[in-house]
Amino acid sequence: MAHEVIRHQLPLFDEEGRSSATDDESGRDLHYLPDFPPEDPYAAGHRTCAGCGPAIQYRWVLKAAGEDSVLAGPTGCMYVANSTYLCTPYTVPWAHTPIASGGSFTSGVAAGYEAMIRKGRYPGTYPNIIVMAGDGSASDIGLGSISGALYRNHDALFICYDNECYANTGIQTSPTTPYAGMTTFTPFGKAIPEGKKLPPKNLAKMMAEGHPHCYVATTTVGYPTDLMNKTRKGLNRQGAAFLHCYTPCQKGWVYQTSMTVELGRRVVEAGLFPVWEYDPEQRVYHYFHPPVQRPVTDYLAMQGRFGHMLPEHIASIQRSANQNWADIGMDVPALLRDGEDPEHHRRMAEETYSMPLNRGVGA
């Protein structure tokens, strides 16, 4: 006789905030913290860099998922910096997978739990099965295996933590590295003054369009409630779900350590990382419309990896941002339209920085 597979249904957090929430002068809720669960399945004691965006993402995701979780981590910073022989920061089962096979490994774990529960060999509730892969893994080397898992609709949550580079091997370019982002494989020089010439791959849209039966969403470490709710939505839905999370890399991007969460908001407010949710039932996208729209320089100037940019490069990025604003149904203010003209800009090195910068990737 087949046993029933019982699944968790995790409640969502209140997005509106408490009455005591305080807005800054731009209308951003600065001090809203809902009552998050006390447990931390991603415990202290790992060895990621100070201010590491992926580590913040790992903590929020596992807090949202809770103690009945099973985790896989393909090769990358979040494998190497988190684990040594017989030692990890996880209080839940975790396994390392080769960089190419996060998707296939996790498919096997999901299918295994389903079969064991049906056969009465595993007495518990179906656990929250999650793989968190870097952008190099999810958008490049391991893309095929994640796409296969989404296509077959295994009941698991597939997350890309996107630090826009192959960080662990020394900050090399990946498909999600932005145009003009300097990496050790895209240095700027006389021949190629912008550093990286190609625009980034739109991984999340590719996943949503290519697997229209899956829940797909984007988020950043700048919006913890959004990140935790999308984690829970992806886990609550029976079948495969994909989350693309923007996670700054302090070492690779060269910014002040305390600015990780601020960057997670500014990238959205600059129009460079639209935050949305794809509803597979209705087959529609729901776009977040941020209360603040900034020129891209407000975001770029905070990071040493963009310190070499010339006016024409900045104008080119402002054009892409303006296209993103239009795509998500927002008006483009005149100031941002003006920014499409190189005459509107100085060299990035001459910008007034709000903080001192150390230029030079990997410093």
Ligand X SMILES: Cc1ncc(C[n+]2csc(CCOP(=O)(O)OP(=O)(O)O)c2C)c(N)n1
Positions touching Mg ion (CB under 5 A) are: 134-136, 163, 167
Among residues 139 and 250, whose Cβ is nearest to ligand SF4? 250
Buried/exposed code over 17-32 (b: 16+ C-beta within 10 A; e: otherwise): eeeeeeeeeeeebeeb
146: contact with ligand SF4 by CB under 6 A: no
48 touches ligand X by CB under 6 A: no
Asked if residue 56 binds ligand X (CB under 6 A), the reply is no
Residue 168 found at the interface with ligand X (CB under 6 A): yes
The entry of ligand SF4, Mg ion, ligand X, none near residue 99 (CB within 5 to 8 angstroms by kind) is ligand X
Give phi and psi for 186, each to the nearest 5. -130, 60
Q: Which two tokens stand for residue 88?
A: 């990890």
Give whichever of 199 and 362 is closer to ligand SF4, judged by the CB atom: 362
Alpha-carbon torsion 308, 263, 218, 288, what sign?
negative
Residue 48 near ligand SF4 by CB under 6 A: yes
One of 55, 61, 65, 77 touching ligand X (CB under 6 A): 77
Residue 127 binding target from ligand X, Mg ion, ligand SF4, none, CB below 5 to 8 Å by type: none
- In the set 41, 42, 54, 332, which binds ligand SF4 (CB under 6 A)? 54
Which residues within the stretch 218-277 sit at the binding site for ligand SF4 (CB under 6 A)?
249-252
Rule CB under 6 A: which of 122-161 touch ligand X?
134-137, 141
Q: Which residue is nearest to ligand X (CB)?
A: 134
Provide the minimum distance between the beta carbon of 36 and ligand X in the complex, in angstroms, as a whole number. Answer: 25
Pick the binder of ligand SF4 from 61, 64, 72, 81 (CB under 6 A).
81
Nearer CB in complex with Mg ion: 153/184: 184
CA dist 130 and 71 (Å) reads 5
Round to whole Å and give the CA distance between 245 and 277: 12
The residues pairing with 95 across neighbouring beta strands, listed in sequence order, are: 72
Cross-strand bridge partners of residue 244: 160, 218
What's the closest the beta carbon of residue 210 comes to ligand SF4, in angstroms?
27
Q: In terms of CB distance, is 94 or 215 closer to ligand SF4?
A: 94
Rule CB under 6 A: is residue 77 a binding residue for ligand SF4? yes
Report, in Å, the least distance between residue 227 CB and ligand X. 17
Kindly indicate which of the ranges 70-78, 115-123, 270-278, 337-345 contains the residues binding ligand X, using the contact rule CB under 6 A: 70-78
Binding site residues, ligand SF4, CB under 6 A: 48-49, 52, 54, 77, 81, 163, 167, 249-252
